[in-house]
Structure 1
Amino acid sequence: MYYIIFVLIILLDQLTKYGAIKYLKGNQPLVIIEDFLEFSYVENFGAAFGILQNRRVFFVLVTIIVIVLILFFLKRNIYCLNKSIKISLVMLMAGAIGNLIDRVRFGYVVDFISVKFRNGYEFPVFNIADSFIVISTILIVYMVLFDKYRV
């Protein structure tokens, strides 16, 4: 089951990025919900929120290290971790690998989901992999803080 979740997340991420490249690159944003949600092609050469621009090698190395550490942690603790933490770690790895694929293939990460709020705040453009990274990180922090990650 964990492998299926892992593969599905990566496929969803890569297929949506393919769609963004094919249909959004060089075109006007596609408005989904006026003044709230649109799909807009962005090439992100940095990390979350565009920080640390043009540090490709750094991000590739850090991502590989994080993936190896998660795999090592899972292997070492497989029998004492509950299903929720395992799924969260798989989501985190899949999201990281989705963005890693972009960095290796293109030298940047394809972002395309743009959310705006009524007060004028525009959330930084993101992608499916970013969503899984953020959601899984929140879940992991919650489970660790409240000691809900063990069997």
Structure 2
Amino acid sequence: MFLYYVLAAVIIGVDQWTKYLTVAHIDLYEVVEVIPGVLSWMYIRNTGAAWSILEGKMWFFYLVTIVVVGVVVVYLQKYGKNSRLLSIALAFILAGSIGNFIDRLRVEYVIDMVRLEFINFPIFNVADMALSIGVVLMILYVFLDEKKQKKNSPG
């Protein structure tokens, strides 16, 4: 289990490092092209969730994050030994949750910077990517686990 907590810590570190670099080198709302027409950096402050939903409801995000982190740690401890895929999914979800929680506690908003130029999509950060990857891996785990259960069930 220790390895999965290390993975989460590394992702949190990368998330916080990219946020630090963004704040230190890009002005608020400034756009820096990385790959023209595809990817740019744009420093914004998000007081809500994706698409700025529930903007300004910090108490809600604090509560939800504490519950999510608690549930993820319990699941990782209880079920993580049974599946590497589940453990990796939980580590990514844990890292993403904590990465954005640090911002909300520290500055009362989340620092976002990754902007996809080819699609109308919210600007996001490494923690958001970790959460998304974790959820996709969790869905994959559930799908594969159900398939395995059907294969092993009598009849």
Fold shared, TM-score > 0.5 on shorter chain: yes
More helix by share: 2
Contact 1:85/1:149 (<8 A) preserved = no
Query: Structure 1 residues 104-113 or 45-54, which shifts more?
Result: 45-54
Cα deviation for residue 72 of structure 1 reads: 1.4
Distance 1:51 1:149, change over 3 A: farther
Give per-residue Cα distances to partners, 1:36-66, cap 9 Å, x unaligned: 1100001000011211111111001100101
TM-score, normalised relative to structure 2: 0.88
Partner of 2:128: 130
Return 5+ residue gaps in structure 1 as ranges: none
Query: Structure 1 residues 18-27 or 51-60, which shifts more?
Result: 18-27
- Secondary structure at 2:9's aligned position in 1? helix
Question: How many residues are treated as equivalent by the alignment?
Answer: 146
Percent pairwise identity: 35
Q: Which residue identity does 1:122 align to in structure 2?
A: N
Matches within 5 A, 1:47-62: 47-62=49-64
Return 5+ residue gaps in structure 2 as ranges: 149-155
Partner of 2:151: none
* Separation (CA, whole Å) in 2 of partners of 1:83 and 1:42: 35
Cα deviation for residue 74 of structure 1 reads: 2.1
Residue 77 of structure 2 is aligned with which of 72, 75, 78? 75
- Secondary structure at 2:19's aligned position in 1? helix
* Separation (CA, whole Å) in 1 of partners of 2:12 and 2:146: 27
- Secondary structure at 1:133's aligned position in 2? helix
Partner of 1:114: 115
* Separation (CA, whole Å) in 2 of partners of 1:84 and 1:149: 15
Runs (4+) off by over 6 Å: none
Q: Which residue identity does 1:59 align to in structure 2?
A: F
Cα deviation for residue 143 of structure 1 reads: 1.1
Partner of 1:36: 38
Query: Structure 1 residues 108-117 or 20-29, which shifts more?
Result: 20-29
* Separation (CA, whole Å) in 2 of partners of 1:11 and 1:141: 25
Residue 147 of structure 1 is aligned with which of 139, 145, 148? 145
RMSD of aligned residue pairs (Cα, Å) = 1.7
Contact 1:44/1:50 (<8 A) preserved = yes
Structure (1 or 2) with the larger CA radius of gyration: 2
Partner of 1:64: 66
Q: Which residue identity does 2:110 align to in structure 1?
A: V
Query: Structure 1 residues 21-30 or 99-108, which shifts more?
Result: 21-30
Contact 1:84/1:149 (<8 A) preserved = no
TM-score, normalised relative to structure 1: 0.90
Cα deviation for residue 122 of structure 1 reads: 2.2
Q: Which residue identity does 2:128 align to in structure 1?
A: D
